[in-house]
Amino acid sequence: MQAIKLAIEAITSPGDEMVYLSPAWPNFAASAAISGVHPVAVPLQFEDGRWQLDLDRLEGAINAKTRALFVNTPSNPTGWTASLDDLRAILDLARRHALWIMADEIYALYHYSGGRAPSFLDVMQDGDRILFVNSFSKNWSMTGWRVGWIVAPPEAGQVLENLIQYSTSGVAQFMQAGAVAALDHGDAFVAANIAKAALSRDLLCDALIATNRVETLKPDGAIYAFLKIDGVTDSRRAALEIVDQTGLALRREPLSAMADRCSCAPASCAIRSRSRSRPIGSPAILPGFER
Ligand SMILES: Cc1ncc(COP(=O)(O)O)c(C=O)c1O
């Protein structure tokens, strides 16, 4: 999260605009706003049972104040995963309008057709102005450690260094040591996490689809199911009722584009019954869906 905030501060000034694709994890827009930057949402289209990028709409949102495009792929919460062609088209747009791209590819390894998800790394060239923000939170389950990183072109290096120096002055040494250990010894752990997320995705989505009351899709990437429940017009109220009645926690998406949808995180949320909670990657949670 701090990488996102620092990256915004590095490439914008108060009064600028940043364009992002929605539905989106709400923290990006909030983080831009507290930096005095106006976050402009461009909705993905839900067509033919899939989330799709509308490039014309994306370009239409760009004006003289726009400084950067924020692209989260695979996406929280929709699971939309940009294809290489999508990434090339976004990059072309950014080049033509002299914009930065902030690439949040934190879920790149949670890509269910195998291998890492398509990345700006695959299509960029020297000189492209792309800041990659990333984190130890997801792959290594180190959310509480608050360790992340930014990959930036040399021209942004000094600014970022200053921003870090004058905020936290850096990650505490013992946390850095933990992160290095994760990099050196964590591959099997990451692989197991991804396998668990794939199992969770299938269990969760199959159970939801089997209710015949839910419109959803198996996400191509990331660790969330984003859904629309038949007859539900107030997703906040529905999420509260569901947690009260079944103990299953859903998160309401605050964005207007899909205000009647809820999302839940199959890899990280749990169904709670009194003091016990069960990870969603286990068939033991299926009774929760039946409720
Ligand atoms: C898309 C996305 N980016 C960034 C983050 C930030 O993660 P953290 O602050 O734990 O590093 C999250 C967390 O949920 C996320 O979903």
Place of tokens 């949040």: 104
Give the position, in ligand 1's atom list, of the atom nearest the Cα of 24: 1
pLDDT value at residue 256: 44
pLDDT value at residue 208: 85
The Cα–Cα gap between 133 and 201 comes to 25
pLDDT value at residue 131: 98
Q: Report how far apart, in Å, the C-alpha atoms of 138 and of each of 62, 148, 224 are.
A: 31, 10, 12
Decide: 246 in ligand 1 pocket, CB within 6 A.
no
pLDDT tens for each residue of the chain, 291 residues long:
999 999 999 999 999 999 999 999 999 999 999 999 999 999 999 888 889 999 999 999 999 999 999 999 999 999 999 999 999 999 999 999 999 999 999 999 999 998 999 999 999 999 999 999 999 999 999 999 999 999 999 999 999 999 999 999 999 999 999 999 999 999 999 999 999 999 989 988 898 889 898 888 899 999 998 888 888 888 888 888 888 888 777 766 554 445 466 666 554 333 333 333 344 455 555 666 666
Cα of 143 vs centre of ligand 1, distance in Å, is 9
Give the position, in ligand 1's atom list, of the atom nearest the Cα of 1: 9
The Cα–Cα gap between 187 and 172 comes to 23
Q: CB within 8 A of 149, min separation 6: which ones?
A: 3, 133, 134, 135
pLDDT value at residue 47: 87
Q: For atom 7 of ligand 1, which residue has the closest CA?
A: 1
The CATH label, of 3.40.470.10, 3.40.640.10, 3.40.50.920, 3.40.718.10, for the domain at 2-184 is 3.40.640.10
Are residues 104 and 75 in contact, defined by beta-carbon separation less than 8 angstroms?
Answer: no
The Cα–Cα gap between 164 and 182 comes to 22
Q: For atom 1 of ligand 1, which residue has the closest CA?
A: 76
The Cα–Cα gap between 277 and 286 comes to 13
**Which pTM value belongs to this model?**
0.89
Nearest 5°: the CA angle 130, 87, 182 is 60
Decide: 137 in ligand 1 pocket, CB within 6 A.
yes
Give the position, in ligand 1's atom list, of the atom nearest the Cα of 137: 10
How many CB atoms are located within 10 Å of the residue 210 CB? 11
pLDDT value at residue 160: 97
Domain boundaries defined on the chain: 2-184, 188-290
Which numeric CATH code is attached to 188-290? 3.90.1150.10
Decide: 104 in ligand 1 pocket, CB within 6 A.
yes
β-pairing, 38-43 vs 17-22, is parallel
Pocket probe mutation, ligand 1, options 76, 80, 141, 269, max atoms within 8 Å of Cβ:
76
Q: Compute the half-sphere exposure of residue 63: CA atoms within 13 Å on the CB side of its CA.
A: 8
The Cα–Cα gap between 267 and 254 comes to 21
Strands (E), 14-121: 17-22, 38-43, 45-47, 50-52, 66-72, 100-104
pLDDT value at residue 269: 38
pLDDT value at residue 280: 47
